[in-house]
Structure 1
Amino acid sequence: MKLRRTSAVAIAAVAALGLAACGDDGGGNGGGAAAGGEKVKVGIKFDQPGLGLKTGATYSGFDVDVANFIAEELDLEVEFVEAVSSQRETLLKTGQVKYIVGTYSITDKRMADVSFAGPYFIAGQDLLIRADDTSITGTESLAGKKLCSVKGSTSAVNVQKEVPGVNLQEYNTYSLCVDALKSGAVDALTTDDTILAGYAAQDANKGKLKVVGNTFSTENYGVGVQKGDTEFCNQVVTALQKFIDDGKWEESVQKWLGPANYTPGEGNPPTPTCQSA
């Protein structure tokens, strides 16, 4: 599949695809469930339009669809909790969540602490800047600039390798980075292009922010599970493969990323496996 990304996007993040086993679209008050299923907590992002977004009591986005489909297939009743990037390993290691679906890139470092079912999606890292900024065209123009990323994310690690001279500012959430970018406190925000596209498309940001459109990494999204729980990891892999084979993956991508004129890159949809160090 040929990679095609744009910097001007329009993601509608109002109601989920409807893959939850009960409740209204987007998971209602807590997520997907089969009646009488085991009750578990599932980590997602709350501030990523088109991927994982909480609006009132409603949860919407591609990752929410994935999380709900897994719950339906495994007869689980889920309560969604926010999985901030810097806390994800702790949430899994301490058993506070059963699994995490939140733009969670599979890395060797993370596999020292958790296991992954995936990848289920492949994205790429990019930059978000103010619309009137002509000085930043890619990582090569970041030296001396104030760049925002989220604590615990692979984005921060990647950009420090690419541009040792960058002035990295790490915040707790992407929303805080977006606010800092709009106020002029930072010059750019870096994370996966899918996430950046969602922020640029929000009504409050239209015409104010833009995606550079020059990716410089490959991010393999996985479902994080407790390290060593091979049985559950394999069950999640089976659910992910069914999500792909039944056409639900394509439906969800088109619903949440299609309006952004974003086409997943080569290797999508991927073939998930259970991965652990």
Structure 2
Amino acid sequence: MDGRQRVTQRTQRFRRDLYWIIPVGVLTAAATFLLARVPEQGADIATILALPVAVVATMAGILAVRSGTPTDSPARAAGGHRMRYWPVATLAGVTLCAMLAAILLHLPSDGDDVAQQLSGRLRIGITGVIPGWSEKNGERYEGFEIALIDYLQARHGFRPQYVELHPEEQTAALESGRVDILVGNYTIWEARNATVVFAGPYYMDKVGIYVSARKVKKPPVAADLTGCALPITYPRPDDLGVTFEHASSLQECMLRLFDPEDRINAVFMHHSILVSLAVRRGLDPRDIVLFKQHDYALYAIGLAKRNQKLCQALGRDIDLFLNQEWDRAAARHLPYLDGSGKPLYSYSAFCD
């Protein structure tokens, strides 16, 4: 066997090995389809992968043809030249179909159509009992968050259907589909991120332990404080110097805090909500004294995890609201907060 024959055999073996590209290409196409149907980021991944897969596979097919055709080999039988190109045609066809399928599946479907989701009736979860934020006045709800919803309604034309929710049932209502979105002092919280995405924030609130200046006459000491808190906002381990009791509602904590006969003299609460409830009772905001601040609470619109595109669209709307309407809405509904709590912009990362 001379050198020319050995080269021919090697190239033929190489060509046969490259034919394994065909099942690999089919498997890649199947994987692309599966990725495209992943409800969150699979479509993005599939679309990105489709182009390099198509280019690499097509080049491999061309290489297979070229490697199996020595320049000095005997003349092929009639029609044989057409057979040389079937690997190229097969591989290019399979990968092109995978790429087109990934792109088509990546296009907005009915579930991702933001215009459709923001048309017709939109079920919106609110608290409905916090003055200045969302509270019913006759037949209509009013408040800062209602002003945000009105702004969104003017832009998209949906019909809001308000659903009053206790803070402890907000996330469950969103996950079960009882409401489409949440606009009820709903905070961005890492523990919720597994099932919820957040458009916003539209307000930044302080969170901490506040005491009643009427009950605590001297600089407060943790050991002398008996606090009230909701179970879902129970203070962190470093607050154990203060004794806390659970309450069923924010209003209950407020009543106990300002009842001179009740032992509760502190609350663990969001500042703006506490001040809003106090003002409604005719109290001076200066009667509320910060004992210890813990963090900031970011209020955002909550959506089920499958609605990232809607979340991003609402985030852009919130940016416009911050620039165009936020100051007027805060001055009208939350004047006692002196315009505090305004974010600079919404964060698209919360929609991931």
Measured against the shorter chain, the TM-score band is: 0.7 to 0.9
* Contact map agreement 1:117 1:237 (CA 8 A) in 2: yes
| Among candidates 198, 202, 210, match of residue 116 of structure 1 | 198
Q: What is the one-letter code of the residue matched to 2:229? A: S
| Residues in 2 aligned to 1:66 and 1:240: alpha-carbon distance in whole angstroms | 8
- Please, what TM-score do these two structures have when normalized by structure 2? 0.59
Cα 1:224–1:261 shift into 2, 3 Å: closer
Cα 1:144–1:102 shift into 2, 3 Å: same
How far did 1:274 drift?
A: 5.2
Query: Which one has a larger percent strand, Structure 1 or Structure 2?
Result: 1
Quick one: higher RCO (CA 8 Å, sep 6+), 1 or 2?
1
| Residues in 1 aligned to 2:184 and 2:137: alpha-carbon distance in whole angstroms | 16
| Residues in 1 aligned to 2:219 and 2:192: alpha-carbon distance in whole angstroms | 31
Q: Please give the residue correspondences for 1:1-277 in structure 2 after superposition, counting only pairs within 5 Å.
A: 37-134=119-216, 141-143=221-223, 145-153=225-233, 156=234, 159-183=235-259, 184-202=262-280, 204-206=281-283, 210-213=287-290, 215-245=293-323, 247-258=324-335, 260-265=336-341, 268-273=343-348, 275-276=350-351
Q: What is the one-letter code of the residue matched to 1:254? A: A
The runs of 5 or more residues in structure 2 that have no matched partner are: 1-117
* Contact map agreement 1:52 1:64 (CA 8 A) in 2: yes
- Identity rate, percent: 20
* Contact map agreement 1:149 1:168 (CA 8 A) in 2: yes
Cα 1:77–1:222 shift into 2, 3 Å: same
* Contact map agreement 1:46 1:52 (CA 8 A) in 2: yes
* Contact map agreement 2:211 2:290 (CA 8 A) in 1: no
Instruction: Tell me the secondary structure at the aligned position of residue 294 of structure 2.
Output: coil
Query: Which one has a larger percent helix, Structure 1 or Structure 2?
Result: 2
| Residues in 1 aligned to 2:219 and 2:170: alpha-carbon distance in whole angstroms | 32
* Contact map agreement 1:117 1:233 (CA 8 A) in 2: yes
Cα 1:237–1:274 shift into 2, 3 Å: farther
Q: What is the one-letter code of the residue matched to 1:257? A: L
| Residues in 1 aligned to 2:285 and 2:344: alpha-carbon distance in whole angstroms | 32
The runs of 5 or more residues in structure 1 that have no matched partner are: 1-35
175-184 vs 92-101, greater mean Cα deviation: 175-184
Number of residue pairs the alignment of both structures matches: 232
- Please, what TM-score do these two structures have when normalized by structure 1? 0.74
